C-alpha cells in the first residue's frame, strides 16, 4: 500500500522490483454530513488510533501540554484509545464504530498522529479526506501523502517539534483550511479504492497472458 512497504518487499524478501507495485488505499470512515463551519478556528486537535503507544499517543499528550501554554483555548480529542489521562483540555472518547469517526474529524482543526511504525495508516487518508492538515512523524508511509508544508507537517519524534507544528497550524485558521483543502484534493485524486483497483488491474492484467511455469 505504500512505497516504504514496497521497498521492504523488494530489499528484504527478494521480490523482483518490477513485480512489486504500490497500489495505495482509500478512506473507510464516512465523512461528517455537516462539518463544523468554524472548525479551523476551534483549535481542536484530533488523534484517532487504538494502539496508543505505537501510534505515538504519549508524545501527542506531551506536545499538547506545550501547546496549551501558548494557546490556552486549544483542545485535544482522543478517539479509539482509552488512556488514563486527566489533563485540562483533553477529551478521551475511547472506541467508536468506524461510522462515527467522521463526526470527530468534521469538528477538528488538525489531525495529529506521530506513529512510530506504520505500513500505511488509513486514518491519515481519512483525516485528509475530511479536509484536515496532518502532523505526523517523518518516516514510513506518510512520506507518500503528507507533503511537508503543503498537506501537513512532518516532524521528528519529539514533543517539542510536534507542539511547534501544531501551534503554527492552530494560530492560522486560514492556513489550516488551505492545507486541508490540498489534503482533500490529493486524496480524491490519488487515494481512493477506485484508483487502487485500477492500479492493481493494470499490474495484474499483463501477467495473465504469461505462460505458466512448471
Domain ranges of the chain: 33-192
Cα dihedral across residues 79, 32, 115, 45: positive or negative: negative
**Confidence at residue 213, expressed as pLDDT on a 0 to 100 scale:** 67
pLDDT at position 174 over 90:
yes
Query: Which DSSP letter does residue 208 get?
Result: G
Give Cα 39 to chain centroid, integer Å: 18
**Confidence at residue 33, expressed as pLDDT on a 0 to 100 scale:** 66
pLDDT digits (tens, 9 = 90+) for 48-64: 999 999 999 999 999 99
- Report how far residue 23's alpha carbon sits from residue 12's, in angstroms, rounded to the nearest whole number: 19
pLDDT digits (tens, 9 = 90+) for 70-96: 999 999 999 999 999 999 999 999 999
pTM of the model: 0.92
**Percentage of residues in the chain with pLDDT exceeding 70?**
98
CATH number of 33-192: 3.40.50.2000
Neighbours of 103 (CB within 10 A): 19
Supply 33's cell numbers.
Answer: 454530513
Amino acid at each position: 500500500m505504500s512505497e516504504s512497504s514496497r521497498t521492504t518487499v523488494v530489499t528484504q524478501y527478494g521480490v523482483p522490483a518490477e513485480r512489486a507495485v504500490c497500489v495505495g488505499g482509500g478512506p473507510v470512515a464516512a465523512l461528517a454530513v455537516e462539518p463544523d463551519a468554524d472548525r479551523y478556528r476551534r483549535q481542536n486537535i484530533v488523534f484517532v488510533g487504538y494502539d496508543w503507544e505505537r501510534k505515538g499517543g504519549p508524545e501527542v499528550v506531551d506536545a499538547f501540554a506545550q501547546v496549551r501554554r501558548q494557546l490556552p483555548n486549544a483542545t485535544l480529542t482522543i478517539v479509539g484509545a482509552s488512556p488514563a489521562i486527566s489533563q485540562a483540555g483533553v477529551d478521551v472518547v475511547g472506541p467508536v464504530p468506524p461510522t462515527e469517526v467522521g463526526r470527530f474529524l468534521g469538528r477538528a482543526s488538525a489531525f495529529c498522529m506521530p506513529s512510530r511504525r506504520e505500513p500505511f495508516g488509513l486514518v491519515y487518508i481519512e483525516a485528509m479526506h475530511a479536509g484536515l492538515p496532518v502532523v505526523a512523524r517523518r518516516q514510513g508511509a506518510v512520506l507518500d501523502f503528507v507533503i511537508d508544508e503543503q498537506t501537513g507537517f512532518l516532524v521528528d519524534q519529539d514533543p517539542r517539534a510536534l507542539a511547534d507544528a501544531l501551534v503554527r497550524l492552530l494560530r492560522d485558521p486560514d492556513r489550516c483550511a488551505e492545507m486541508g483543502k490540498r489534503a482533500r484534493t490529493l486524496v480524491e485524486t490519488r487515494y481512493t479504492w477506485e484508483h487502487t483497483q485500477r492500479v492493481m488491474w493494470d499490474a495484474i492484467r499483463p501477467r495473465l497472458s504469461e505462460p505458466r511455469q512448471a
